[in-house]
Amino acid sequence: MNGLVNRHILLGVTGGIAAYKAAELVRLLRRAGAEVRVVMTRGATEFVTPLTFQALSGHAVRSELFDAVAEAGMDHIELARWAELVLVAPASADFLARLAVGRADDLLATLCLASAAPIALAPAMNQQMWQAPATQENVRRLTARGIRLFGPGCGEQACGEVGPGRMLEPAELARLAGELFASGPLSGVRALVTAGPTREAIDPVRFIGNRSSGKMGFAVAAALAAAGAEVVLVAGPVALPTPPGVRRVDVESAAEMLAAVEQEQFELLVAAAAVADYRPATAEHAKIKKERAAIALELTRNPDILATISAARPAVFTVGFAAETDELERYARGKLAQKGLDMIAANWVGAGRGFEAESNALQVFWADGGTSLDEAPKSDLARQLVALVAGRYAASGKKSKG
């Protein structure tokens, strides 16, 4: 929790029974050295009085947007600028919905829009409300914008039901808030990760794809964010949640992936996506009928995203992946040299290996060396890979040029 010393935390409290736990959270954040200012929604004041938070935070609590007296002191824009973290705990289903659509219909929602600080939400609601498709859709939209979710936890709820939707305990929330400020080896570095498969259209309903689940790339994005990097994840079609603190851009084809990557600025590129090397030369506009006994598909080469960036932006530190079924080191080193990469992480694929699996093993190569990372869950392996990348990036002449 050391990262909290002298940090400015704007704690938003919304209406829910877990609001009483936010009082303990204020105490813990302050004990860890943070300065805390509390903003309550009207609903929150039905559960706990502003006076409680005023006594604990040492500052007047605000809940109204149009409050002439409060605005004469630190107005809401100043408050938004003051915050280094906006932490909303508890965050109700209604608040998630309002934030997802960008409403500014009360002080807290307005501050979330007006602040450039990272936002973390600690959801707290009935398990059915948490699992409702509308809430889940809102959560996806929010996390895709880089908003962090702290929890929710799972267990017995105030309403007597059991399931996901409990607010995390105050000590856990304070720990997670502290982690956000802890500086990692890649803090200040902008990283871009490609992940998942691409789909190349044959006609409006069919495509050429591959077995990539996105797990490896998403794990790398999460590990980079945990190491302090500012991460953009360009993802093909996968069924995975966005890792906390990562901004996600969804694409479908290789051409879309290249266009999305080219729009971003970054110093570090990790290409874990299984990009289709070929696409149908023409995608039919109407569904192909099964009138002929056989049809031939003409395929044309897709652009190589990694090689394109490596050639066009020599200052970017580039890390490729190599998926091989034979002669792993020879082919991986070939790709390292041909694509002008700084590092390449090679994995065996096929027969349940690499693609889709929960665990993986990597052999990592660079021009004058290499190392092996033994089989481990993809999240562990990604952390080891990122530590290796961070070390080599720091030692590279590229660090200051990006």
- As annotated, the active-site residues are 159
Which stretch in 46-54, 84-92, 176-184, 351-359 sits in contact with ligand PMT by CB under 6 A?
351-359
Looking at residue 118, its amino acid is: P
Which stretch in 97-105, 113-121, 183-191, 354-362 sits in contact with ligand PMT by CB under 6 A?
354-362
Residue 391, helix vs strand vs coil: helix
Nearest residue (CB) to ligand PMT, 115 versus 347: 347
Token pair listed for 192: 């871009």
Question: Around Cβ 397, how many Cβ atoms within 10 Å?
Answer: 8
Size of the site for ligand PMT (CB under 6 A): 29
Q: First CA to last CA across the chain, in angstroms?
A: 31
DSSP state of 2: G
Q: Residue 236, interface with ligand PMT (CB under 6 A)?
A: no
Looking at residue 375, its amino acid is: E
Nearest residue (CB) to ligand PMT, 151 versus 197: 197
Token pair listed for 204: 């409006």
Q: CB of residue 136 vs ligand PMT: minimum separation in angstroms?
A: 23
Q: Residue 216, interface with ligand PMT (CB under 6 A)?
A: yes
Q: Residue 302, interface with ligand PMT (CB under 6 A)?
A: yes
Token pair listed for 76: 């809401």
Contacts of 130 (CB under 8 A, 6+ apart): 93, 123, 152, 163, 164, 165
Nearest residue (CB) to ligand PMT, 14 versus 310: 310
Q: CB of residue 242 vs ligand PMT: minimum separation in angstroms?
A: 15
Looking at residue 51, its amino acid is: L
Q: CB of residue 333 vs ligand PMT: minimum separation in angstroms?
A: 12
CA dist 70 and 81 (Å) reads: 16
Determine contact, residues 312/236, Cβ cutoff 8 Å: no
Q: For the segment 269-288, give every residue that binds ligand PMT (CB under 6 A).
A: 271-275, 277
Q: Residue 213, interface with ligand PMT (CB under 6 A)?
A: yes
Q: For the segment 310-349, give every residue that binds ligand PMT (CB under 6 A).
A: 320-323, 335, 347, 349
Among residues 142, 102, 145, the alpha carbon closest in space to that of 122 is found at 142
Nearest residue (CB) to ligand PMT, 298 versus 358: 358
Q: CB of residue 392 vs ligand PMT: minimum separation in angstroms?
A: 16
Q: CB of residue 125 vs ligand PMT: minimum separation in angstroms?
A: 32
Q: For the segment 141-170, give every residue that binds ligand PMT (CB under 6 A).
A: none
Q: Give residue 359's Cα distance to chain centre.
A: 20
In this chain, which of 108, 304, 316, 382 binds ligand PMT, going by CB under 6 A?
A: 304
In this chain, which of 168, 231, 254, 389 binds ligand PMT, going by CB under 6 A?
A: 254
Which whole-number Å values give the CA distances from 274 to 18, 217, 260, 261, 293, in the listed order? 43, 10, 16, 15, 31
Nearest residue (CB) to ligand PMT, 71 versus 380: 380
Q: C-alpha angle 67/68/70, rounded to 5°?
A: 70
CA dist 179 and 165 (Å) reads: 22
Q: Residue 356, interface with ligand PMT (CB under 6 A)?
A: yes
In this chain, which of 37, 98, 215, 383 binds ligand PMT, going by CB under 6 A?
A: 215
Q: For the segment 24-43, give every residue that binds ligand PMT (CB under 6 A).
A: none
Among residues 394, 78, 340, the alpha carbon closest in space to that of 62 is found at 78
Q: CB of residue 349 vs ligand PMT: minimum separation in angstroms?
A: 5
Question: Around Cβ 326, how many Cβ atoms within 10 Å?
Answer: 8
| β-bridge partners, 246 | 231
Which stretch in 29-37, 268-276, 368-376, 394-402 sits in contact with ligand PMT by CB under 6 A?
268-276
Nearest residue (CB) to ligand PMT, 157 versus 213: 213
Q: Which residues bind ligand PMT (CB under 6 A)?
A: 194, 196, 212-217, 254, 271-275, 277, 302, 304-306, 320-323, 335, 347, 349, 354-356
